[in-house]
Amino acid sequence: MAHSSTEDLEAKEMDVTRLQSSHIYPDDLPYVPKVGVSPRQNLFKEITAAAREMFFPDDPLGRYRGQSQSKKFILGLQSVFPILEWGRDYSLIKLKGDLIAGLTIASLSIPQGIGYAKLANLSPKYGLYSGFVPPLVYAFLGSSREIAIGPVAVVSLLMGSMLRNAIDPVANPAEYTRLAFTATFFAGITQAALGFLRLGFLIDFLSHATIIGFMGGAAITIGLQQLKGFLGINSFTTNSDIVSVLRSVFSAAHHGWSWQNILIGASFLIFLLITKYIGKKNKKLFLVSAIAPLTSLVLATFFVYITKAENKGVITVNTIQKGINPSSANELYFTGKNLMSGIKIGVVTGMIALTESIAIGRTFASVNDYQLDGNKEMMSLGVMNIIGSITSCYVTTGSFSRSAVNNMAGCKTAASNIVMAIIVLLVLELITPVLEYTPNAVISAIIISAVVGLIDIEAAILVWKIDKFDFIACLGAFIGTVFESVEIGLLIAVCISFVKILLQVTRPRIAILGNIPRTTIYRNIRQYPEATKVPGVLILRVDSALYFSNSNYVRERILRWLTDEDDQLKAKDLPRIQHFIFEMSPVSDIDTSGIHSLEELNRSLQKRNVQLVIANPGPVVMEKLHASKFTDLIGNQNIFLTVKDAVATFAPKMVEEAWED
């Protein structure tokens, strides 16, 4: 029996070999497999599947299936409040890591919070307020372990620029602050809505290249803005473009620069840059650079206090009110002329803050090998900013520099944000009166040293090497930000991103395929110069779906290519093209306009006595071609599973020669 079954198996294998070889040898009347048509799905099921794939690709309800009601309730609470999940396994070892990390990022958060508030044209106290309540809220709702919450440079600059266009912060500081709280409220609403409606994919419209350019331009703009405090200039331009800032700086050179402020700023900037270099070169010494900003703040404040330098030309921070965040719920604009300004500013700053924080969260989640739910993270950030808006905070998000320090300091959970918030609380309750002696020059030095890292020249060079169009987007965002404003730079970044998408959709790549010698493989002749064209056959591949936006271009480009090929063949006295093989494996979908263009293409080809042949259409495309009767129009005998099968049918000598070689 065993011997008999072995013979049967060998016989079957020989039959399979014959079937496979029949694709190669045309003398055997080769078996050519037909392209299958998927059974048509119910319309409701199609819509449901498409909606599920668009809005719920991560299957968020999967963990609830098969669970008891009580378990579902617990899982629901843990989903809303992740602290209930990781808090169950919390230990002294984790507490130690979070305590060290929290103390470390607090040393960065306090001086940066004061500086970034001034960047937003707000009182320094709001920077400290924003380093207290939002981190506490995020610790309960956020799902990232490493993100350090607080004010960030780019969002502060963007918000300050947009707020100043609506209300003058010098003439109407109270209204300006109210508008900042209102914008923060609507930033939170925007973020929470995007997460709840699972529209997080919208933030992906800002490409990596445009973000590099925008961040670099914003860093230079922020650095230039700090020249006011660094040089001790009292009268300074309200514009943020480089021309206006430099004009303002040099016009004040003869009478407005203060050597005392320059000395303080330059000394501590050199100190901060040296410590940053040390921390970058030796990862074990990262704490040196992490505590350097707070060390600079303490030393500069102490120096001014004991020398009474504030009376000798050193410009210091205004008095910071002692105590924790007061309520600002009654200060939000829900009516009046400032409401629309608050909504507009909130939507823009909320989206940028979201983009930065999600990118940071995904980066560290990948490094530490765990999954981050982007939509849940958006809702957490949204609720955090909504609560922040009614507790005297402005827009906060994840900071890359502080999050990197948080990770390197050994944080284990989001509890490091709680530790940081407690330190900020102690500063608000005990130390704020002393901060009035803090010189503006040291705050400027801290901000300049912090934003230097946002200028990523290596990344820009890499973008240039990889994709020139991406580099144009990067450069456009950079130039718009530096030479005009942050808003214009952001607008240019978004516009260039959309232009790139439109170009890719409306002008897809089309490649001529040729046969790689001694094989039955067909590839792009530009990528493989040794590939040879099949006599009498033109093989093209379109690397895109066929939609209304590109179908006419594809049809016209194919006909133009066919004309060019015929002209070249005629000039060489070679046989003309008789078959056009359309390789459709990259065509993931087709709409009615695409099918209509194929019908027009077929009519044009018939007039030229050229047969249209389709190779390897996908299931969705094949289903639509079948439903539209296009398969009947060209004949099922002209639809093949592979290019090799099509060539074997219409140019069998080519396949036979390839096999013999």
Instruction: Say what the pLDDT of residue 475 is.
Output: 92
First to last CA, the chain: 42
Q: Please name which of 78, 58, 154 lies closest in space to residue 359, comparing C-alpha atoms.
A: 154
pLDDT at 6 over 60: no
- Does 17 score more than 60 pLDDT? no
Instruction: Return the SS3 of 394.
Output: coil
- Using the predicted structure, report yes or no on whether residue 661 has a pLDDT greater than 60: no
Helix (H, G, I), strand (E, B) or coil at 508: coil
Dist. CA 530–CA 533, nearest whole Å: 10
- Long-range CB pairs of 139-142 (<8 Å, 24+ gap) are 139/83, 139/414, 139/415, 139/417, 139/418, 139/421, 140/81, 140/82, 140/83, 141/80, 141/81, 141/82, 141/83, 141/379, 141/380, 141/383, 141/384, 142/82, 142/377, 142/380, 142/381, 142/384, 142/414, 142/417
Q: How confident is the model at residue 653 (pLDDT cuts 50, 70, 90)?
A: low
- Kindly indicate the confidence band of residue 54, based on its pLDDT and cuts at 50, 70 and 90: low
Spatial CA neighbour of 377 closest among 392, 395, 360, 402: 360
Nearest of 166, 72, 128, 124 to residue 420 by alpha carbon = 128
The identity of residue 205, as a single letter, is: F
**For 380-387, what is the mean pLDDT?**
96
The whole-number pLDDT of residue 284 equals: 79
Which letter does DSSP use for residue 452 in this model? G
Query: Mean pLDDT, to the nearest integer, of 637-651?
Result: 88
Indicate the residue type of 411.
C
**Following DSSP, what letter does each residue of 5-54 receive, concatenated?**
HHHHHHHHHHHHHHHHHTTT-GGG----PPPP-PPPPPHHHHHHHHHHHH
Helical H segments across 132-172, by residue range? 133-141, 153-166
Closest CA to 390 of 186, 193, 190, 167: 186
Average pLDDT over residues 575-584: 91
Check residue 4 and give its pLDDT. Answer: 44
Residue whose tokens read 């390897």: 616
Q: 569 pLDDT exceeds 60?
A: yes
Average pLDDT over residues 389-393: 96
pLDDT for position 30? 55
Residue 176 pLDDT: 95
Binned at pLDDT 50, 70 and 90, residue 43 comes out as low
- What is the per-residue pLDDT for 370? 83
Q: Report the mean per-residue pLDDT for the chain.
A: 86
The model's confidence at residue 22, banded by pLDDT at 50, 70 and 90, is very low
Q: Is the pLDDT of residue 16 over 60?
A: no
- Report strand pairing: 611-615 vs 639-640: parallel
CA 324 distance to own-chain centroid = 35
Residue 59 is predicted with a pLDDT of: 67
Query: What's the predicted TM-score (pTM) here?
Result: 0.79
Q: Could you tell me which residue, 21 or 78, shows the higher pLDDT?
A: 78
pLDDT of 267 over the 90 cut: yes
Q: Which pLDDT score is estimated for 58?
A: 64
Indicate whether 494 pLDDT > 90: no
Banded model confidence at residue 493, pLDDT cuts 50, 70, 90 = confident
pLDDT digits (tens, 9 = 90+) for 501-525: 888 888 899 999 999 998 889 999 9
CA torsion 650-653-657-659 (nearest 10°) is 50
- Beta carbons within 8 Å of 93's beta carbon, 6+ residues apart: 412
pLDDT band at 365 (very low <50, low <70, confident <90, very high): confident
Strand order in the sheet with 522-524: 522-524, 510-515, 537-542, 579-583, 611-615, 639-640
Distance between CA atoms of 124 and 134, rounded to whole angstroms?
Answer: 16
In this prediction, residue 26 has a pLDDT band, given cuts at 50, 70 and 90, of very low
Token digits of residue 130: 């924003």
Of 176-185, 486-495, 518-527, 556-565, which has the strongest mean pLDDT? 176-185
